Structure 1
Amino acid sequence: MTTAAPRVFVTGLGIISPAGADRHAYWDGLCSTAPLFGDLPPLYEGMKPGAIGAWVPESARKAALAASRISAGTTRPRMAEVYAAYAATEAIADAGLCAADTSLSRAVVCVGTSDGQADVLEAVCAGVDDGSGRFSSAGIGSSVARVVGSAGPAFVVQATCASTNAALSCARDALRSGLAETAVVVGCDAYSQKNIIGFSSLQAIGPAACRPFSRSRRFVTPAEGAGALVLQTERALRPDQVPYAELVAASISNDASHPTAPDPAGVRACHRRALEEAGLEASAIDVIYAHGTGSRINDAIEGSIFVEDFPHAAVTAVKGTIGHMMGAAGAAGAVAACLTLRHRLVPPTAIDASEIELGMDLVTGAARPVPDVRYVQNNAFGFGGNNAISIFRRTS
């Protein structure tokens, strides 16, 4: 007889973002759509001034540095690690756990990041840091494991902007295979000059903020931060724990069609794979957190899939509020998806209803109550044909 794979639940959330440090500030920021953007200073001669980006506020940054416990004695803190550690610490506390808890001693730690420790490499190139023993994205996983008290497997997934959903897929597989009963999944990326210069060379950043699915959309708004989720099997749940959601799918693919442009067939195939993994029809999805970068082609491809295959789903895109957190973008969507299931509310996309280009049900203006919500989907796509989609189910 084949034993059914255990169900996997989300029991804790943590996040640090341009909206501030913790899940409450994040949710309030999403629901208010208050502007969180500022100017990006030119980084090289010839870079156009006036481009817009988003940063973790200084107060939140200081809180993360104080709480992370991984930057003591360093002259240049590794901010991706600091953000990751902060989000993970909040998530395990939210789950009712602590670093001394036996359920975390063999937990799987899986970190998704796009740029990793790019800030260290940039400092080395600038001649202000020798980077001795410190330039390793794998070190982020080790640092998070130390902070949460795990001596179990710890690893890092780098799949561009799909990294966190890819990390969720790896962690879910680990729990369902019996490798562990608890996992801590983190998505993180800090401000990176390399990243900004790359987007500038592609003419993807500029003086207008990200406006997902708007007729007037033009630019991406780079951002930074980290989000974390504690995953536990049904066997690991304590009587007093109330899960945010069940993780029913975390599907990944790579169509390798183009270095930067998404492939419509590849993106659509990932949608199909996620639904098959969850055992659902598209009509079952109530809410979708779109990747929604605000670029012309990305939104056109993703939006056409919503119109054709998910016409009854309420769609929202948080990058219009907090910017694009790169490898942590999927974490921002996953945390928000779980909060939607808890609060039964969908935050609005930061554009006017009159701007919507395609005939999707895009939530705008104010947060929308969804009292009967059951399934929430979280999309994340990246350069190089990386596609990843997670789906969460309400548990109560």
Structure 2
Amino acid sequence: MSAAIVGIGATDFSKDSGRSELQLAAEAVRAALSDAGLQPSDVDGLVSFTMDTNAEIAVARELGIPELTFFSRVHYGGGAACATVQQAAMAVETGAAKVVVCYRAFNERSGHRFGQVQTAAAANIDNSWSYPMGLGTPAAMVAMFARRYMHEYGATSEDFGRIAVIDRKHAATNPHAWFHNRPITLEEHQASRWIAEPLHLLDCCQETDGGVALVVTSAERARDLPNKPAHIKAATQGSGIDQFTMTSYYRDDLTRLPEMGVVARGLWEKSGIGPSDVDVAVLYDHFTPFVLVQLEELGFCGRGEAKDFVASGALELDGMLPLNPHGGQLGEAYLHGMNGIAEGVRQVRGTAVNQVGGVEHVLVTAGTGVPTSGLVLGQG
């Protein structure tokens, strides 16, 4: 691709922002444009999530963006994160727009909490199969998947907990993270209360108020902007066979995420690299078990081998595949994966708080259990 991310911006991450979601979106977009050395008048495209309450035209009005020639939204919650960048890049490459901003902003802790039972969601045809059985929250839905994975491959709650420990370790040294200076031990993970067995509280991502925005433009224009660009080497979406939303229980194998397999094949083909070329992995970590399965779907280890891969220390900052140096959604903030893309940009720039040395390629994934998306970001 000949497009790049040239600006990143975010609000503070909190549990009670005290601002409207529109104000959060405007703050994040303004910060991203400032980082890119651009003005609202330079923007002619906006992309967000269908779940975002902030209409593109409202964001444009608030910021003084005069005209839009491209605006789009992506479905499936956190699965949309990397796809917003994909759509922005396609708009730039086809000439539909010259400068596109991707944004996501919400009061997910003080306002509408996605982790709660949603009565209206029971009417959705996908959910109607599982809500009557008591699977009315994302944690409960993932717990069903996790239990089968444990049965098939001998994984344990401790194996899931190691992901939480790594993320919180990295968040502890990130001043922007909600859990800055608050690492956890595996023993603390095991002692945390059950949410839906086999998931403990510390297997589940936090709820966050805040916003994140990213600026995408052409690689050619990026050369004249103040900060080092993160070139979009590949961007893909994926939906797998017998796909449901969080409850794809009717597949022959319940221990896989084939939609992430679709994304993986597309990323490796389009970028011309493979798993061994990835220097940093920013993997969507709303629930710890899905991080293990992503490692397998993406080709970093074989089926059922992720627990041993994690236990080997491979995901530490000095390991072969550093995971979520910002702390992830478990440690930094839950912004539907957009803060992970921002971390990918920082790693390419060399400006991250927990900077990994010699970064050429960063892999970023979006939400799992739903149709999803992914990115490979890299040097020019």
- Give the alignment's TM-score, normalised by structure 2: 0.65
Q: In the aligned structure 1, how far is the partner of 2:97 from the partner of 2:138?
A: 44
After TM superposition, give the deviation of residue 94 of structure 1 in Å.
1.1
1:43-192 alignment to 2 at 5 Å?
56=14, 61=17, 65=19, 77=20, 79=21, 81-100=22-41, 103-104=42-43, 107-114=44-51, 116-117=52-53, 139-146=54-61, 147=63, 149-152=65-68, 153-191=70-108, 192=111
| Paired position in structure 1 for 2:6 | 11
- Structure 2: which amino acid aligns with 1:378? V
Runs (5+) with no aligned partner, structure 2? 119-134, 144-159, 166-185, 191-198, 249-255, 303-308, 315-319
CA contact (8 A) 1:287 1:315 kept: yes
- Structure 2: which amino acid aligns with 1:319? Q
CA contact (8 A) 2:260 2:368 kept: no
Picking from 296, 303, 306, the partner of 1:304 is: 296
CA contact (8 A) 1:141 1:156 kept: no
- Structure 2: which amino acid aligns with 1:389? G
After TM superposition, give the deviation of residue 172 of structure 1 in Å.
0.9
Picking from 205, 218, 242, the partner of 1:221 is: 205
Structure 2 CA distance for partners of 1:201 and 1:210, relative to 1, 3 Å: farther
CA contact (8 A) 2:6 2:216 kept: yes
| Paired position in structure 2 for 1:257 | 243
- Give the alignment's TM-score, normalised by structure 1: 0.63
CA distances 1:118-173 after superposition (whole Å, capped 9, x unpaired):
xxxxxxxxxxxxxxxxxxxxx52112223251412223223211122121111111
CA contact (8 A) 2:138 2:246 kept: no
After TM superposition, give the deviation of residue 238 of structure 1 in Å.
5.9
Q: In the aligned structure 1, how far is the partner of 2:66 from the partner of 2:376?
A: 26
CA distances 1:217-268 after superposition (whole Å, capped 9, x unpaired):
6342342322111111134346353333111222111225233147422222
After TM superposition, give the deviation of residue 98 of structure 1 in Å.
1.7
CA distances 1:190-242 after superposition (whole Å, capped 9, x unpaired):
22445232389437289xx9873567563423423221111111343463533
- Structure 2: which amino acid aligns with 1:276? E
CA distances 1:32-74 after superposition (whole Å, capped 9, x unpaired):
xxxxxxxxxxxxxxxxxxxxxxxx255xx35xx4xxxxxxxxx
After TM superposition, give the deviation of residue 288 of structure 1 in Å.
0.5
After TM superposition, give the deviation of residue 113 of structure 1 in Å.
5.0
1:338 correspondence with 2:322? no
1:198 correspondence with 2:208? no
SS at match of 2:11: strand
Picking from 336, 341, 358, the partner of 1:372 is: 358
1:228-307 alignment to 2 at 5 Å?
228-237=213-222, 239-255=224-240, 256-261=242-247, 263-296=256-289, 298-305=290-297, 307=300
After TM superposition, give the deviation of residue 388 of structure 1 in Å.
0.7
